[in-house]
């Protein structure tokens, strides 16, 4: 159990490291633009967004997105001379098709997105509006599901529905705890006042973090870091969680 937890921690740190080539330039630009309007990002905010990105990379790893190599090599035969060819058995558009096989996968998808629905309104006050959080949950889940068309995994409407439900549950949990979290939230959140004056990099911070997390896993972790660290961890522990 100890080695399993240790390996997971190591791998999750590597997931986060893979995002740094994209997050560092973004944060440099974000800091520069914020200073121009006299808005200083707090240390607390930087810490919680790092936790947020760390969480996003975990979601992307567990759900299984492709890498740039999958796309370039077209190893699953999606891109053909006649256009895109998506095998019908890898796409499920029928809600609750797998319900008879058990609730475990449904519950796992719900639990996976609850932190997203909680952290969005906690860190960014504009997501205290329910539809903003719901839209982000749907969008992030849809990007994951569509990307899975290129790595042989099933793109499933049930995953999209349960992920979105998880985000909504997370939002409800935040609303229930909001009064208890008010002081901490003020220290780490981005306020929504004068939103039109806030530069795009700060106004759409969530989108950039989601894109950075996806890009890190897509361009860095799966093509490069995974092949470097998996053999090393396997030699140290005999097996590894990926």
How many whole angstroms separate alpha carbon 191 and alpha carbon 143?
27
How many whole angstroms separate alpha carbon 80 and alpha carbon 90?
17
pLDDT digits (tens, 9 = 90+) for 35-56: 777 777 889 999 999 999 999 9
Q: What are phi and psi of 96, to 5 degrees?
A: 60, 30
- pLDDT value for 236: 67
- pLDDT value for 241: 53
Q: Greatest CA separation found in the chain?
A: 58
- pLDDT value for 102: 83
**Which domain, by its residues, includes 207?**
2-237
Q: Which residues of the chain have pLDDT under 70?
A: 1, 3, 74-88, 191-197, 236-242
Q: Answer whether residue 127 is part of any domain.
A: yes
Q: Answer whether residue 90 is part of any domain.
A: yes
| Residue that is written with structure tokens 């490069």 in the block | 224
Q: Answer whether residue 242 is part of any domain.
A: no
Q: How far apart are the first and last CA of the chain?
A: 16
- pLDDT value for 173: 98
Domain count, the chain: 1
Q: Answer whether residue 228 is part of any domain.
A: yes
- pLDDT value for 26: 95
Q: What is the average pLDDT score of the chain?
A: 87
Residue 132 near residue 154, CB atoms below 8 Å:
no
- pLDDT value for 184: 93
């Amino acid at each position: 159990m100890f080695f399993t937890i240790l390996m997971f921690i190591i791998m999750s740190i590597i997931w986060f490291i893979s995002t740094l080539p994209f997050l560092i330039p973004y944060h440099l630009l974000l800091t520069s633009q914020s200073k121009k309007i006299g808005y200083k990002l707090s240390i607390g905010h930087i810490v919680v967004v790092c936790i947020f990105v760390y969480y996003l990379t975990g979601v992307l790893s567990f759900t299984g997105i492709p890498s740039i190599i999958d796309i370039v090599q077209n190893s699953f035969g999606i891109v053909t001379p006649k256009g895109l060819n998506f095998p019908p058995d890898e796409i499920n558009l029928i809600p609750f098709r797998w319900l008879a096989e058990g609730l475990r996968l449904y519950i796992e998808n719900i639990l996976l997105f609850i932190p997203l629905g909680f952290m969005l309104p906690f860190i960014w006050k504009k997501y205290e509006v329910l539809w903003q959080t719901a839209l982000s949950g749907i969008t992030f889940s849809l990007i994951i599901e569509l990307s899975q068309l290129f790595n042989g995994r099933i793109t499933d409407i049930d995953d999209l529905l349960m992920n979105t439900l998880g985000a909504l549950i997370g939002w409800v949990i935040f609303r229930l705890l909001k009064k208890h979290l008010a002081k901490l939230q003020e220290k780490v959140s981005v306020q929504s006042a004068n939103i039109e004056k806030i530069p795009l990099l700060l106004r759409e911070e969530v989108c950039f973090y989601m894109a950075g997390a996806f890009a890190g896993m897509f361009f860095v972790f799966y093509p490069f870091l995974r092949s470097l660290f998996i053999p090393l961890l396997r030699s140290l522990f005999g097996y590894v969680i990926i």
